[in-house]
A and B are shown apart, each in its own frame.
Chain A
Amino acid sequence: MELSGSEIIAQFLKDEDVEYLFGYPGGAVLHIYDALFKADEVKHILVRHEQAAVHAADGYARSTGKPGVALVTSGPGMTNAVTGIATAHLDSIPLVVLTGQVPTAVIGSDAFQEVDSVGISRPCVKHNFLVNDVKDLADTLKKAFYVATTGRPGPVVVDIPKDVTDPKIKIPYTYKPSITMRSYNPVTKGHPNQIKKALELFFSAKKPVMYTGGGVVLSDASQSLTSLVQRLGFPITSTLMGLGAYPSTDEQFLGMLGMHGTYEANMAMHETDVLIAIGARFDDRVTGHLEKFCPYAKIIHIDIDPSSISKTVKVDVPIVGDVDDVLTTMLDMLKETDRTPDKEALKDWWKQIKQWRKKNCLRYNKKTKVIKPQYVIEKLYEVTKGEAFITSDVGQHQMFAAQYYKFDKPRQWINSGGLGTMGFGLPAAMGVQLAHLDKTVACVTGEGSIQMNIQELATCMQYQLPIKIINLNNQYLGMVRQWQEFFYEGRYAMSYMDSIPDFVKLAESYGHVGMRIDQTSDVEGALKKAFAMKDKLVFIDFMTNREENVYPMIAAGKGQHEMELAPDSELV
């Protein structure tokens, strides 16, 4: 088959089974858009800002496990996409981002809409390519998908100069179902001896804790994890990124750990003698003060990325490999032995954990007239029967969603954990909704975050995406305000938002439904009404308690056992 560069792109995406392409046209990608238009195979979603294209592709990827694909033009198109790319990079999300580039002949001449896309994206991609010759195009695209989706996944940028997509230059094209690269061979199988060492620690542990992260979700290891945890009878806690990999409603689940984790999870981390870290990377939001982190623990760490191991916390039993592969091997090995964990010790350990649980650290006053944000999330959980896909933005609302929505399934909770990108929630929800047209998708956000990509309400209208936007509106940049209250003597520098738009009218002007709710008694009814509108985007603006804080909280420099809990006055 003889194809031009732009036709190769259109055909390759079809051959690669790409369902959606999220993008925005511009000069350098016009040939590509023309070929896509003519082929009409891959569904193109026109966003309103390139950052949203990448977030939407990212939401698609997080909710399906398949790579997300975005297409943007050169120069500002590419620079707008960078935040989205970095967001995916920090959370190891497989993306392929195609960026247009000025023609090869003028690269380096400061041409119109030229930036060094490979240079700009280099520190925030897993890998990137500049295609200099149309003959390299098909192989490069294949490499991009291969690198993005294997090993520790991540975003890959392919920068394509306009002349490479010239419709007049045709070359033979055949689709290669696979490709090898001598410099890239990710390890997937864990070393059996290391796995045996881990098992020894399972058997000798008196106070074990499983600590799981986004790697479990990325590796689709929920089933093997659940089997292993239940077989061993160990308590399990999860990072923000790992929520849903193990059912949150299960008795063995201690809740999220870290800065805003539960009392029982953080205390168990502090006291544990064997910590089993699985697909988690000892992020500073998890560890708190490193010198006070898990002082009594032998640490087992399973991760596909060798550089994650002993990066910040020295581990005793490193296991490099794909999480699902390693956990499955562990289960097989456990079946072949009659040895079991120390049941007596575990009984005492659970007794201790139950004591910690009695603190009921997520308690809050539900009897207030003014709406508590926690209450909205709890009602959201009830009304959606815990089955919705929840995307979030970044801030207090994100923590409330993580704490109060009990995720039982992986890929159900979609948020920007590593980079903490405000503006992620709505475009990510578009990608999730497109991937799951018949499922319920809600975006939990705040009046600060939502305004960072509010323009995507137009995209939602164009493609009839019935997302439910849960706006926890406290008229403050809540998390910033909370830190200013705690650490800056209440000087609320720039955390107050004046002239917030009327979100009801704003939603309506885009053709959606808007609702404004300002008392607790109306919350449940509003949610029911909104979720009953199956084919409408509903923007619910919840006016919440202005100075609500997220508890528990581990302040900077503190250890896990030094959490601050909500003051008693709050706990009615």
Chain B
Amino acid sequence: MRHIISILLENESGALSRVAGLFSARAYNIESLTVAPTEDPTLSRMTLVTNGSDEIIEQITKQLNKLVDVVKLNDLNVNGAKHIEREMMLIKVKAPVAARDEIMRLNSIFRGNIIDVSEDSYTVELTGPSDKLDAFIAAFDCDSILETVRSGVMGIARGTNALHV
């Protein structure tokens, strides 16, 4: 099953590689990983999406907790917990005059923002659950997509339940 694990870790050089190294050393999957400092600059918040049986996920969380740089973590999918997840995508598409109306229409249906325009291209900013971003990509034929960049998933628990020190 797919799990989103939120991790607070010391914002120190090497902390990220400890997490990444753990996953490769123990042959766990990483679907996506995103990390940035929090409101407390000494802490980073990482969101890690992984796959595995309950036993594997239990080992992953235990092994992560064992890393000295990990301050705290939370499995957003554990015990039917509710959460919200978002991913951001920047996508650059070919935009010949004839296609522009259609791109704008798609952009408005998906509630994206066109954030850059050139003679031959549009760049769209889109936020949402990962499958919404997938659907947007699918609305274009491959040839017309020049570039995509996705942030990886960020997640947060619903309600007052919060991961903080």
Contacts and interface: CB of A to CB of B under 8 A. Distances in A.
Contacts of A168: none
Given A307-B63, A310-B55, A311-B59, A183 B17 contact: no
B68 A127 contact: yes
B68 A184 contact: yes
Nearest to A181: B68
B13 to A, nearest CB: 7
Contacts of A126: 68
A182 interface: yes
A17 to B, nearest CB: 23
B66 A307 contact: yes
Interface in B1-47: 9-10, 13-14, 17-18, 21, 25
A181 B71 CA distance: 9
A123 to B, nearest CB: 5
Contacts of B59: 307, 311
B165 A310 contact: no
B90 to A, nearest CB: 30
A183 B68 contact: yes
B19 to A, nearest CB: 11
A182 B63 contact: no
Interface residues of B, number: 20
Given A183-B71, A310-B55, A122 B65 contact: no
B62 interface: yes
Interface string A291-334: 00000000000000111011100100000000000000000000
Given A182-B165, A307-B63, A310-B55, A130 B68 contact: no
Nearest to B62: A307
Given A310-B55, A310-B58, A119 B68 contact: no
Interface residues of A, number: 20
A147 interface: yes
Contacts of A122: 14, 17-18, 21
B58 A183 contact: no
Contacts of B14: 118, 122, 128, 130
Contacts of B63: 307
A119 B65 CA distance: 20
B68 to A, nearest CB: 4
B70 interface: yes
Nearest to B14: A118
Nearest to A125: B68
Contacts of B70: 183
B69 interface: yes
A182 B71 contact: yes
A130 B69 CA distance: 13
Interface in A94-133: 118-119, 122-123, 126-128, 130
B13 A130 contact: yes
Given A130-B13, A311-B59, A306 B18 contact: no
Nearest to B66: A307
- Interface-central residue, B9, B18, B65, B66, by most chain A CB under 10 Å: B66
B62 A119 contact: no
Contacts of B69: 127, 183
B110 to A, nearest CB: 40
A305 B67 CA distance: 12
Nearest to A186: B66
A127 B17 CA distance: 12
A544 to B, nearest CB: 39
Contacts of B71: 182-183
A179 to B, nearest CB: 13
A265 B133 CA distance: 59
B139 to A, nearest CB: 43
Nearest to A119: B17
A148 B66 CA distance: 13
A188 to B, nearest CB: 15
Interface in A35-76: none
Contacts of A305: 66
Contacts of A311: 59
Interface in B52-99: 55, 58-59, 62-63, 65-66, 68-71
Interface string B91-124: 0000000000000000000000000000000000
A183 B9 CA distance: 8
A319 to B, nearest CB: 15
Interface in A2-60: none
Contacts of B165: 182
A552 B70 CA distance: 44
Given A306-B62, A310-B58, 13 more contacts: A122-B14, A122-B18, A127-B68, A183-B68, A183-B69, A183-B70, A183-B71, A305-B66, A306-B66, A307-B59, A307-B65, A310-B55, A311-B59
Interface of B: 9-10, 13-14, 17-18, 21, 25, 55, 58-59, 62-63, 65-66, 68-71, 165
* Nearest 7 CB-CB pairings of A with B: A307-B62, A127-B68, A183-B71, A306-B62, A184-B68, A123-B25, A307-B63
10 contacts: A122-B21, A123-B25, A128-B14, A130-B13, A130-B14, A183-B68, A183-B70, A307-B63, A310-B55, A310-B58
